[in-house]
Amino acid sequence: MRYAPALHGRDHWHGADHLYRPRTLLAVIDGIGSPIAAGIAGDVTAHYDCTIQGWRLLADQAGDIVVDIWKTDYASFPPTGADSITGSEQPTLSGVDKDEGTTLVGWTVAVVAGDTFRINVDSAATVTRVTLALLLRV
């Protein structure tokens, strides 16, 4: 029996700088031992206003994955492909087990408390578990 990928969201505070408090919004895409399939992996909600500063992907093994991120406010839930925030730089692994990006060309980076991110896997090969971290500035 094949199970749908699981997604878990968690945010936490790093550092003690009083002017800048970086945070991370995490989403784990888990194929439960099988290669991750394309499609909606789940949703994660932001609980504070912030700005996206970058992304990081960490996989269980070298492989390929392209992730799109859709965002909408609570009243307009659920987000759709028309709500993509990733511009021309989707979080991507290509034959590697980790990568990150901070240029965010064309991204919508403003986040309002209550916004929901829908994680959509456009394509994947080999990887069975990937953590997507959105690097945030409060």
The domain that holds 97 is classified in CATH as: 2.60.120
Domain that holds residue 52: 9-137
Question: Do the domain assignments include residue 79?
Answer: yes
Question: Do the domain assignments include residue 35?
Answer: yes
Report d(CA 7, CA 44) in Å as an integer. 8
Question: What is the chain's pLDDT, residue by residue, as a tens digit (138 residues)?
Answer: 333 444 444 444 444 444 567 789 999 999 999 999 999 999 999 999 999 999 999 999 999 999 999 999 999 999 999 999 998 899 999 999 999 999 999 999 999 999 999 999 999 999 999 999 999 999
Query: Could you give the number of structural domains in the chain?
Result: 1
Question: Do the domain assignments include residue 1?
Answer: no
What pLDDT does 22 receive? Answer: 79
| 64 CB-near residues (< 8 Å, 6+ apart) | 92, 93, 94, 95, 123, 124, 125, 126, 127
Question: Do the domain assignments include residue 67?
Answer: yes
Report d(CA 79, CA 81) in Å as an integer. 7
What pLDDT does 19 receive? Answer: 54
